Amino acid sequence: MEPTSDRGDVPAFRASGVTKIYGEGRSAVHALRGVDLEIRNGEIVVLLGASGSGKSTLLNILGGLDRATDGDVWFRDAHLTAMNDRALTRYRRDHVGFVFQFYNLMPSLTARENVELVTEIADHPMSAAEALELVGLGARVDHFPAQLSGGEQQRVAIARAVARQPDVLFCDEPTGALDSRTGRAVLRVLQDVNAKLGTTVLIITHAAATAAMAHRVIHFADGAIRKVEVNASPAHAEEIIW
């Protein structure tokens, strides 16, 4: 499969010299130490790396959830690191879908309502029922998070992210709590979204096998990129061996 790109040469993301330092003084943590990166439109990129290496931090910055301490990030022509809060909100609202590492569902909303919470402010969303059907939860739409298993909650989080049909999808360990069969089904959904809508997909994972479905694999260590592998022929999600 070729990455679908409708914007010629402008990459989806361009980052240069991105650093992130949490805290200050002696207790400061250097989570990112100068990351340079380019992600093309329509790519599926998998981010691999040890726990604590800074993957989530990078994703948060690309997704406009957090601010870099230093360096620049562009989304297409937009200079994310120079944006004010209002513009960042706009950016997240119009372009970005998230699957968080800890699911982050609203406990007081049902599965369907959790999805609707984001589709309500999206331009061309799919219906909540449709999105939940995609992740195999068609029968559980009216259940609250507390009534769902961990994996089911994770799938609701994925349905929520894809339902708004965003330009970019950030998935922080989307299959961490899933068995191999469901995990593959979920990766299928991400691959379909990528293929049909040309959505750029960034996946963080500890399951190295997932890398097989990526167009590119970025290896992360100690807050910096160590290696980038290009995958000429990404595997179909169904073929991934867990």
Ligand X SMILES: Nc1ncnc2c1ncn2[C@@H]1O[C@H](COP(=O)(O)OP(=O)(O)OP(=O)(O)O)[C@@H](O)[C@H]1O
Residues that bind ligand X (CB under 6 A): 22-23, 29, 31, 49, 51-57, 101
From the list 18, 57, 37, the residue with the least C-alpha distance to 216 is: 37
Is 61 or 131 the residue whose CB approaches Mg ion more closely? 61
From the list 12, 17, 23, 21, the residue with the least C-alpha distance to 45 is: 12
For helices 150-163 and 111-119, the axis angle rounded to 10 degrees is 20
Q: Does 51 bind other proteins (CB under 8 A)?
A: no
Is 116 or 173 the residue whose CB approaches ligand X more closely? 173
Q: How far apart are CA 236 and CA 192, in angstroms?
A: 10
Q: Which helix (H) or strand (E) holds 235?
A: none
Q: How far apart are CA 30 and CA 42, in angstroms?
A: 31
Q: How far apart are CA 4 and CA 200, in angstroms?
A: 9
Pick one of other proteins, Mg ion, ligand X, none as the site partner of residue 188 (Cβ within 5 to 8 A by kind). none
Total residues binding other proteins (CB under 8 A):
32
Pick one of other proteins, Mg ion, ligand X, none as the site partner of residue 51 (Cβ within 5 to 8 A by kind). ligand X
Is 31 or 111 the residue whose CB approaches ligand X more closely? 31
The contact pattern for other proteins, residues 109-148, with x = CB under 8 A and - = no contact, is xx--xx-xxx-xx-----------------------xx--
The contact pattern for other proteins, residues 75-114, with x = CB under 8 A and - = no contact, is ----------xx--xxxxxx-x-x-x---x-xxxxx--xx
Q: In what order do the strands lie in the sheet with 29-39?
A: 29-39, 13-22, 70-75, 78-79
The three-class DSSP label of residue 183 is: helix
The contact pattern for other proteins, residues 17-36, with x = CB under 8 A and - = no contact, is ----------x---------
Pick one of ligand X, Mg ion, other proteins, none as the site partner of residue 127 (Cβ within 5 to 8 A by kind). none
Pick one of other proteins, ligand X, Mg ion, none as the site partner of residue 52 (Cβ within 5 to 8 A by kind). ligand X
**In whole angstroms, how close is the CB of 22 to other proteins at the nearest point?**
9
Is 101 or 231 the residue whose CB approaches ligand X more closely? 101
If phi > 0 it is left, if psi is from -120 to 50 it is alpha, else beta; for residue 52 that is left
Which residues of the chain form contacts with Mg ion (CB under 5 A)? 56, 101
Q: How far apart are CA 154 and CA 159, in angstroms?
A: 9
Q: How far apart are CA 214 and CA 201, in angstroms?
A: 9
- Residues interacting with other proteins, by CB under 8 A? 27, 60, 63, 65-67, 85-86, 89-94, 96, 98, 100, 104, 106-110, 113-114, 116-118, 120-121, 145-146
